[in-house]
């Protein structure tokens, strides 16, 4: 896998209600295009609902997704599962995926990025009728992993129609809370088992795999999970990564990449100037460069997280800033 230094890509969500507008922005500004998730277009495009289609016993309401447990249906689903199961992501759940695919007909990309909610975040966010996360039911936790594998198999096959290489980012925002008081019962070893199994499965399908977490995490475990790309919020959490310098250097030497989320997707985008954001990003890169020269070759840049919560004008600025930052880094 070879990317040009500081190639740009995105995390997933966009603020548009018109899928075509989001796709035009992606194709104009990103070196590694991705399909847009559109939570403002439909609640079915939120992080859990988007990949819930086909999950047994699931109830999807206008503003709520939950599990109404039925042991018989769950046992039947598991008994019929096979390793080559493929569960589609329907157009009602991913409008942007189908719009960008239509736009790409007859074309061939070098890289095409997709994304999927990770098994830890999915299982801790999806709750049963009583409000208990399904993660704490061992059977449902394992079912979650199998379901997401079937979703990602379908997505890799679909994206492969338009690109030489497919990248899948596993989105695991809850990983930052594992071990805290909020999720004290979630063991680090078990959460990493689920992630590592998902990583291994994606790689077995000849796709490259990244993990995105927009917070702190045990980066040593993440970097040793088999991922090809570490994607994180470098705007807020750059200093935390520095304590894993040795692990990061070893990861890069093995061919890994870091996708630096330098451009904020929080309210900071409204208060900071372009110069503020670009100069801060360049200072951080140079800080690592002094000790790990390989960082310049093995870096991508991205927004700090998804852009779904921004307004459209701010998302356009984020995209432009990424290109300006890339050009500035390459010209140094």
Q: What is the mean pLDDT of the chain?
A: 95
What is the DSSP code string of 142-177? HHHHHHHHHHHHHHHHHHTTTEEEEEEEEE-GGGGG
Domain span holding position 319: 7-331
Q: Is residue 178 part of a domain?
A: yes
Separation of first and last alpha carbons in the chain: 25
Q: Considering its fold, how many domains does the chain have in total?
A: 1
Percent of the chain with pLDDT over 90: 91
Comparing 19-23, 31-35, 138-142, 290-294, the range with the smallest average pLDDT is 290-294
Q: What is the mean pLDDT of residues 56-61?
A: 89
Summarised one tens digit per residue, pLDDT across range 216-247 is 889 999 999 999 999 999 999 999 998 999 99
Does some domain include residue 1?
Answer: no
CATH code for the domain of 113: 3.20.20.210
Mean pLDDT along residues 176-196: 89
pLDDT in tens, 144-154: 999 999 999 99
Q: Is residue 2 part of a domain?
A: no
pLDDT at 324: 98
Give me the residues paired with residue 208 across strands.
Answer: 167
- Domain-located, residue 176: yes
Are β-strands 65-67 and 58-60 bridged in parallel, bridged antiparallel, or unpaired?
antiparallel
Instruction: Give the whole-angstrom CA distance, residue 54 versus residue 290.
Output: 49
Residue at 196 is within a domain: yes
Query: Is the pLDDT reported for residue 76 higher than 70?
Result: yes
Please state whether beta strands 127-128 and 65-67 pair in parallel, antiparallel, or not at all (unpaired).
Answer: parallel
Whether 54 is covered by a domain: the verdict is yes
Whether residue 174 is predicted with pLDDT greater than 90 in this model: the reply is yes
300 in any annotated domain: yes
> The pTM is what?
0.96
At 1, is the pLDDT very low, low, confident or very high (cuts 50, 70, 90)?
low
């Amino acid at each position: 896998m070879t990317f040009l230094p500081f190639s740009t890509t995105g995390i997933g969500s966009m603020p548009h209600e018109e899928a075509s507008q989001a796709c035009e922005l992606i194709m104009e500004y990103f070196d590694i295009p991705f399909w847009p998730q559109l939570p403002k277009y439909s609640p079915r495009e939120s992080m859990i609902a988007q990949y819930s289609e086909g999950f047994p016993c699931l109830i999807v309401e206008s503003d709520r997704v939950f599990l109404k447990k039925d042991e018989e249906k769950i046992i039947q689903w598991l008994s019929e599962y096979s390793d080559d199961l493929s569960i589609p992501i329907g157009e009602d759940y991913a409008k942007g995926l189908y719009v960008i695919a239509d736009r790409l007909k007859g074309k061939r990309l070098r890289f095409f990025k997709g994304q999927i909610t990770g098994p830890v975040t999915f299982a801790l966010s999806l709750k049963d009728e009583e409000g208990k996360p399904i993660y704490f039911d061992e059977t449902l936790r394992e079912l979650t992993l199998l379901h997401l594998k079937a979703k990602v198999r379908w997505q890799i096959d679909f994206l492969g129609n338009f690109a030489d290489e497919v990248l899948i980012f596993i989105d695991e925002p809850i990983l930052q809370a594992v071990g805290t008081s909020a999720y004290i019962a979630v063991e680090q070893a078990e959460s990493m088992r689920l992630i590592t199994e998902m990583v291994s499965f994606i790689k077995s399908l000849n796709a490259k795999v990244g993990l995105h977490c927009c917070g702190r995490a045990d980066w040593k475990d993440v970097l040793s999970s088999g991922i090809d790309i570490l994607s994180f919020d470098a705007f807020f959490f750059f200093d935390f990564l520095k304590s894993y310098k040795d692990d990061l250097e070893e990861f890069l030497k093995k061919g890994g990449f870091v996708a630096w989320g330098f451009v904020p997707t929080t309210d900071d985008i409204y208060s900071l100037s372009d110069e503020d954001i670009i100069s801060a990003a360049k200072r951080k890169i140079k800080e690592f460069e002094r000790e790990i020269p390989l960082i310049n070759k093995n870096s991508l840049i991205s927004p700090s997280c998804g852009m779904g919560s921004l307004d459209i004008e701010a998302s356009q600025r984020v995209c432009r800033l990424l290109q300006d930052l890339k050009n500035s880094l390459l010209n140094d």
